[in-house]
Amino acid sequence: MIYLDSNATTRPSPAVRAALLPYVGDSHANAKSLHGPGEAARAAVEAAREKVAALLCARARDVVFTSTATEALNTIVRGLLLREPPDARRHVVASAVEHPAVAEPLQDLETRGYEVTRVGVDGAGRLDPEEFRAALRGDTALSIAMAANNETGVRLPWRECAAAAREKGVPYLCDAVQAAGKVPFEFEDSGADYAVISSHKIHGPMGAAALVVRRSAPFRPLLVGGGQERGRRAGTENVAAIVGFGVACEEATRHLVESMPRVEKLKDRLESLLVERIDGLKVNGLGAPRLPNTLSVVIGGVEGEAALLLLDKEGIAVSTGSACASGSMDPSHVLTAMGIPVPLSLGALRFSLSRTTTEADVLAAAEALPRVVKKLRELSPFDPLDGPPQDRFGTKTAPDAARAARRSSE
């Protein structure tokens, strides 16, 4: 399998697997226990905390381990509802392109008396920090802008946003899940109040993530009950996952310099080959600063999901980037925010590379996709470059596309 879906998850590295194995075997113990094995587990968790902090240029004491980035992000966003004493400020500023782990809790806040200002992006996915600054108000309780977008790889000016929030005395949350390990991220100097990263996106195991909380920032735990993580996140620590996460962070710190320039060259190669070989293919975020590993495209007259399924049959794993809910394909809120018309955004495909991606992987994808696009365009009753008319498309479901793709490949 040629795996080009690293923004979804990455395979734990051999060093990560070797480091965590003892903690699901002989070294298995609760990090809260007072006996020797417990103390060893505790020491392993603290060593991992140091490594996570080093990747983020943060203080180890400020790192809180959680199970996922979704949990960490919910802790801050939904945590607004738990502030004690209750915060009279009921306004939140956020970029319009946040991950659902932020976007959905924000929608929930809106049903509970909060007002949310979503700061839009331009056609290339760029956010203007001045617009972000202008949206901050006296009653803003939290501001949010991710470091890099998971669908397009476009980097947001998070340092400028953090500085603007700090000036106005508004706590600032940065989702650094996709940026971590791909581009430098310095928490301590940035002025950000909260940052979040996830183990499984950087060749660590699933089941661990980190929330960094600046000591001066308001904070209420989402989970209470066991006193773990200095009372900031109750629940027995997943020692094995945390140990693996620590090693993943250590490796990611090194690979920022050792591997990311090579990954970027591969991504650029794939981009230029696809642009050259496929009519009607557009690169999302062209001209904006982007992550070195992420290539997002839209292809006129082709459904992303159908192309994904045909690529899968050829042993190439990619993603569409748009959420598929209950059988009907929803356009991506990120591409919509960039002003990409719905029929075109349904033709989105995301290739996300990692340090394990090879040149052969990229060349195989650049061979396969033009073939797949040709096949799908031949099947389509619509003009290949215009795609279906919007009203007709609105009623077309993802399973229809999937069935068409399967039929065509049988």
Residue 202 CB, nearest approach to ligand PLP (Å)? 11
- Which of 209, 307, 334, 349 touches ligand PLP (CB under 6 A)? 209
Instruction: Kindly tell me which of 210 and 316 has the beta carbon lying closer to ligand PLP.
Output: 210
Interaction pattern, residues 116-155, with ligand PLP; x per rule: CB under 6 A: ------------------------------x---x-----
Residue 70 CB, nearest approach to ligand PLP (Å)? 3
Strand pairing of 63-66 and 316-317?
unpaired
Residue 102 CB, nearest approach to ligand PLP (Å)? 7
| Interface stretch with ligand PLP, choices 50-58, 174-182, 251-259, 385-393 (CB under 6 A) | 174-182
Residue 181 CB, nearest approach to ligand PLP (Å)? 13
- Which of 58, 177, 195, 256 touches ligand PLP (CB under 6 A)? 177
Query: What is residue 180's three-state secondary structure?
Result: coil
Query: What is residue 3's three-state secondary structure?
Result: strand
| Interface stretch with ligand PLP, choices 64-72, 112-120, 280-288, 373-381 (CB under 6 A) | 64-72
The DSSP-derived string for 54-118 is HHHT--GGGEEEES-HHHHHHHHHGGGGG-SSPPS--EEEEETT--HHHHHHHHHHHTTT-EEEE
CB atoms within 10 A of CB 11: 14
| Torsion sign (Cα): 91, 69, 305, 295 | positive
For residues 347 and 382, what is the distance between their CA atoms, to the nearest angstrom?
14
Sequence-distant (≥ 6) Cβ neighbours of residue 362 within 8 angstroms: 266, 267, 269, 270, 273, 353
User: Under the criterion CB under 6 A, does residue 16 sit at the interface with ligand PLP?
Assistant: no
For tokens 């068409």, name the residue. 404
- Which of 160, 175, 237, 305 touches ligand PLP (CB under 6 A)? 175
Run of H or E including 46: helix 36-56
Q: What's the token pair of residue 185?
A: 């991220």
Cβ contact 9:206 at 8 Å: yes
Work out the angle between the directed axes of helices 239-258 and 260-277 (0-180°, nearest 10). Answer: 70
Instruction: Kindly tell me which of 68 and 293 has the beta carbon lying closer to ligand PLP.
Output: 68
| Torsion sign (Cα): 73, 77, 82, 84 | positive
Residue type, 261: P
Could you confirm whether 324 is annotated as catalytic?
yes
Interaction pattern, residues 74-103, with ligand PLP; x per rule: CB under 6 A: -------------------------x-x--
Residue 75 CB, nearest approach to ligand PLP (Å)? 12
- Which of 68, 152, 296, 319 touches ligand PLP (CB under 6 A)? 68
User: Under the criterion CB under 6 A, does residue 198 sit at the interface with ligand PLP?
Assistant: yes
CB atoms within 10 A of CB 64: 23
Instruction: Kindly tell me which of 177 and 243 has the beta carbon lying closer to ligand PLP.
Output: 177
Question: Which residues bind to ligand PLP, rule: CB under 6 A?
Answer: 68-70, 99, 101, 146, 150, 175, 177-178, 198, 209
Active site residues: 324
